[in-house]
Chains A and B, each alone.
Chain A
Amino acid sequence: MIFQQSDPPSPLTLATEKKLVAQSQQGDQDAFTALYRNYVQAIYRYCFFRVQDPDHAEDLTADVFLKAVDGLSRYNERGLPFGAWLFRIAHDRVVDFYRKAGRRPVVELTDDFVSDDLSPDVSIEITESRERLYEAISHPTDEQQAVIQFRFMENWSLEDTGRMMNKSANAIKALQHRALQSLQRYISQQNLGGSDANP
């Protein structure tokens, strides 16, 4: 695993995805590769923030795409992005992972998690609370985690995030607000030594 600033994914329109999926269902490797490369890092991060272990996240990512190939012939587009289906598979794999593991693993966070080129105030702020922040990201509900990842890590628009989660843009905006508030409360709680109570 390496750490780097998030690059916005090359957007694929629904029409392009539909075409690529149809070609992939016929066994077209180039088409599947295009879909794979568009989503692989997002799927990896989705798994990573839930299992908090790079090796397990990588294994789960591989598993997601192998399951996707297995189920490709049964996939129906239904107006949603292909990614929505992949994230559903990822969700199931993560659930399965915890069922087998029995408990949540603990990740040891390092400075690698924080980029070097931040503005000083943000850098200090993040450095001080980076471990808590990562913990905080994995703290909200699954949907809130997804919104945080899609909006602020993958840089998807409200609309794109909504399509990915099968929700309206307004619903995503509300969910985003709750997710950020939960995150903010958690950060504040840590900074204030727990004076800010429960969400």
Chain B
Amino acid sequence: MSNTYPSDDPNINREDQKAARAVQSLTLPTLTPESVKRIERQALDRLRKKKQRAFQFPQFHSFPRLAVALSIVIALVLATSGTVAASAGSLPGEPLYAVKRLGEQIELNFAPADQQAMIHAAHAETRLSEIEKLAAKGVVLPGLLVEMQAETQAAVSGAKTLPAKQQTGVLSAIVILTNKQETALAKIQTQLPSTHASQSALSNAQSNSTAQRQEIIVYAEKLSIPLTAQNTPTATATKQPAILTATFTAQPTATQPTLTPTLIETQTATATQQPTATPRPPTQTAVIVSTQQSNQVVATATSPAATNTPPG
């Protein structure tokens, strides 16, 4: 770009060119790349949530009270009739699937704010389970992959807004979840013909899972959140461990009517605590235990941040 305004611009009178040049000569205020990225993330996050809501449930922005009232009525009707329980194992395309999704939305609507991230993670786990079941029949729904990623991203975003004390468990769970997504999607890819139309969508979904996990890891490192989901094989007991156990099960069966994630925080005061004259810095280690049985994922992390350990 030239620094001075072209003097031969026919659209500028000669008398106006001095002012035009003056304006053009100014170095303009510009958003930093970091700020551009930050706002972009906020906007895309909003877009993602909007799409998710649109898919799952009718919009009631103008009638929030109506939405709540309807949710209560529908929840009561469905719960008493056992429809939600019966719909738990349903898959996209089946008659009760809409009921299942409605149940999820109601669950989300009524959950306290600090549990929303974990519920999103549980819903992402449910989507993964559905993807695996459909893949076993040779069917891959790209929309379901997108929804799984959207739920995961909502969990990531939600986890970042949690109080520090709760973050370790939820972030650990999401790391495990994204690991599991990658493994499952890679397996599905190998089961399908290499020319299958959904191979590309599966690859993209895998990449997104990796990116979401990386986002969590970077975030945890930046804020010194004691989370190591990077396959740390051992854990060192701290002086006063607080064990955060995040468990969510997402294997819809007829006998498992709800998909309620639980975040159990157990603070164990040990009798073996031995104060020493020279306080040691907290050991920031954690162990992630992932059991593949019954699709159950257990994240266990020691959290020195939750202890009263003096800073080193």
CB distance from A184 to the nearest CB of B (A): 4
Assess whether A2 is in contact with B30, with CB atoms less than 8 Å apart.
yes
A16 interface residue (CB < 8 Å to B): no
Chain A contact residue count (CB 8 A cutoff): 62
Chain A interface: which of B33-41, B119-127, B163-171? B33-41
Q: Give bound CA distance, A134 to B23, whole Å.
A: 9
Interface residues of B in 269-310 (CB under 8 A from A): none
What total of chain B residues lie within 8 Å of the partner, measured CB to CB? 38
Beta-carbon contact of B3 and A117 below 8 Å: yes
Contacting A at CB under 8 A, from B64-79, are none
CB contact under 8 A between A137 and B30, given known A5-B3, A24-B47, A152-B5 = no
> What residues of chain A lie closer than 8 Å to B3, measured between beta carbons?
5, 115, 117-119, 122
User: Which chain A residues border B46 with CB–CB below 8 Å?
Assistant: 66, 69-70
Q: Which residues of chain A from 157 to 199 have any CB-CB distance to chain B below 8 Å in the complex?
A: 158, 173, 176-177, 180-181, 183-184, 187
A48 touches B29 (CB 8 A): yes
Interface contact tally, CB-CB below 8 A? 155
**B21 shortest CB reach to chain A, Å:** 6
Q: Are A66 and B1 in contact (CB under 8 A)?
A: no
Tell me whether B48 and A27 are in contact (CB under 8 A).
yes
Q: Tell me, yes or no, whether A20 is within 8 Å of chain B by CB.
A: no
Q: Are A61 and B39 in contact (CB under 8 A)?
A: yes
CA distance A48 to B28 in the complex (A): 10
Chain B residues near A112: list those with CB within 8 A.
27
- Are A4 and B28 neighbours in the complex by a CB distance under 8 Å? yes
Asked if A32 and B47 sit within 8 Å, CB to CB, the answer is: yes
Task: State whether the Cβ of B25 lies closer than 8 Å to any Cβ in chain A.
Answer: yes
**What CA separation (Å) do A118 and B94 show in the bound complex?**
69
Judging by beta carbons under 8 Å apart, are A29 and B30 in contact?
A: no
Answer whether A180 and B27 are a contact pair too, CB < 8 Å, given A1-B32, A62-B42, A69-B50: no
A192 smallest CB distance to B (angstroms): 14
Q: How far is the CA of A113 from the CA of B28 in the complex (A)?
A: 7
Whether A36 is near chain B, meaning CB under 8 Å from some CB there, is yes
Known: A6-B28, A155-B1. A29 touches B23 (CB 8 A): no
Q: Is A22 an interface residue (CB 8 A)?
A: no
In the complex the two chains form, what is the Cα distance from A12 to B35 in whole Å?
23
Q: Closest chain B residue to A119 by CB distance?
A: B4
Please, how many angstroms separate the alpha-carbon atoms of A71 and B1 in the complex? 35
Whether A27 pairs with B47 at a CB distance below 8 angstroms is yes
12 other A-B residue contacts (CB within 8 Å) besides A3-B27, A73-B50: A4-B28, A6-B1, A26-B51, A27-B48, A62-B39, A113-B29, A115-B3, A122-B22, A152-B20, A152-B23, A176-B11, A184-B16
Q: Which 8 A-B pairs have the closest CB atoms?
A: A27-B51, A180-B16, A115-B27, A184-B19, A183-B19, A152-B23, A65-B43, A180-B19
Report 7 cross-chain contacts, Cβ distance below 8 Å, ordered by A residue: A2-B31, A37-B36, A45-B29, A62-B39, A70-B46, A115-B27, A126-B26
